[in-house]
Amino acid sequence: MNLQFDAELMLLITGVIVAISLASLFARSFRHRLDPDGSSRFYHNLLARIKAWWVMIATFGVALMVGKVGTLIIFTAISFQALREFITMAPTRQGDHRALFWAFFFILPAQYLTIGMELGGFAYIFIPVYAFIFIPIRAALAGETKDFLERTSKVQWGLMVCVYFISYGPGLLTLEIDGYEGENVKLLLFMVIVVQVSDVLQYVWGKSIGKTPVVPKLSPNKTAEGLIGGTLSASLVGACLWWATPFNFWQAGAMAMLLCLMGFFGGLVMSAIKRDRGIKDYGTIIPGHGGMMDRIDSLCFAAPVYYHVVRYFFGQ
């Protein structure tokens, strides 16, 4: 997985920078309308979000430019912070201490190392088979039986969602696609751009014409109008990026739609967990956005499905 910098990649990155610049410009030039008395919570949240987007794009951009190692490091850090937030809000008992220690400091880095060393199929099964067997064994050895099944599933879910699924992001770099050698970074960028654009557009559509919540009990802000409008427009954005991918226009649109839907359901499920725990955000690490888990919730389900669909139809 040697990565190369080509004109298409440059164009993608430039496009992202232009988009976020426009957002900054828009927010500043409509200041008097959005925030007439200087106290609008919405406006300050918007500014904080845009600022955080700049930081995220810069971090992510630098990581991609460093190449494979940079990408693996940034995703390891994302997973680490996500798992930290996940386990913090999902209470475990003292009997899980050692199992969790292994999860954070061995299983998590090992998963990314497995991908980095391109051990092939082992990356797919390391967590679902070996880690999932190890976690309950270590907890059982600790001898605490209260809520055993519940505690084990919390740790397993944390590893699945925050580590295994997210690791499919850099996993995309290892896919072998005919005639696309060395260009896989764009496959990863395509996914991240479509999922994040879909998040933003679903929010914009929902805010402007949203009326009917998809699951009223769970999240009144996730509306059918937002879902449909956001998915269609983000799929169009995705289709228009076909030139950077191994797909043609229609395939890129279909892939983008798949990503949007998976992104939506990922966000929905992570919201259900938050609701259950009675919290609004997983954390506070990204100003305006909440925690790491709040930002990547839509990637959790999108990344593995996208990876396997691409691999099935386009892989060698």
- Residue 59, interface with another protein (CB under 8 A)? no
- Residue 283, interface with another protein (CB under 8 A)? yes
- Residue 284, interface with another protein (CB under 8 A)? yes
- Residue 231, interface with another protein (CB under 8 A)? no
- Stretch near another protein under the rule CB under 8 A, chosen from 26-34, 180-188, 237-245, 282-290: 282-290
The residue among 202 and 245 lying less far from another protein, judged by its C-beta, is 202
8 A C-beta contact, residue 296 and residue 304: no
How far apart CA 315 and CA 103 sit, in angstroms, is 31
- Residue 45, interface with another protein (CB under 8 A)? yes
The residue among 213 and 315 lying less far from another protein, judged by its C-beta, is 213
- Residue 84, interface with another protein (CB under 8 A)? yes
Which positions from 87 through 116 interact with another protein, judged by CB under 8 A? 87-88, 91-92, 94, 97-98, 100-101, 104
Structure tokens at 235: 């799929």
Question: How many binding residues for another protein (CB under 8 A)?
Answer: 31
Binding site for another protein (CB under 8 A): 41, 45, 80, 84-85, 87-88, 91-92, 94, 97-98, 100-101, 104, 199-200, 202-203, 206, 220-221, 278-281, 283-285, 289-290
